[in-house]
């Protein structure tokens, strides 16, 4: 099922920047200070809520949950996903 936001600004498969912690220390810190990382909108889940895949290799794991090596193929990586509202998502352009 594909959802469209009311304003059409955050569509499925859209590349975005999303606030997401890179470490447990950042996660315990002020959420407003989390970095903006590249991701992709997976779907809209509510009036102001989206599920986003955070596409940062350093945060990826293999299917078994282990840390990948530098030689792990891209298609074998699992990236974290999160739920965010519009204040924590920014559209990004693809060049």
In sequence order, what DSSP letters do the residues of 37-73 get, joined into one string? EEEEEEEEEETTEEEEEE--GGG-EETTSPPPPTTS-
**Average pLDDT score over residue span 60-86:** 94
Could you report the per-residue pLDDT of 35-70, keeping only the tens digit for each?
999 999 999 999 999 999 999 999 999 999 999 999
CB-hemisphere CA count at 13 Å for 91? Answer: 9
Residue carrying structure tokens 């992709």: 40
Give residue 9's pLDDT band: very low, low, confident or very high (50, 70, 90): confident
- Cross-strand pairs, 41: 52
Give pLDDT tens digits for 12-24.
999 999 999 999 9
Asked whether the predicted pLDDT for residue 5 surpasses 90, the reply is no
């Amino acid at each position: 099922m594909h959802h469209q936001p009311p304003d059409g600004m955050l569509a499925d498969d859209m590349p975005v920047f999303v606030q997401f912690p890179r470490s447990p220390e950042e996660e315990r810190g002020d959420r407003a200070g989390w970095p903006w990382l590249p991701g992709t909108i997976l779907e809209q889940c509510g009036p102001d809520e989206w599920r986003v895949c955070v596409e940062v290799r350093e945060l990826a794991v293999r299917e078994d949950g282990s840390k990948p090596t530098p030689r792990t193929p891209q298609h074998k990586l699992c990236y974290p996903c999160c739920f965010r509202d519009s204040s924590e998502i920014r559209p990004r352009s693809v060049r």
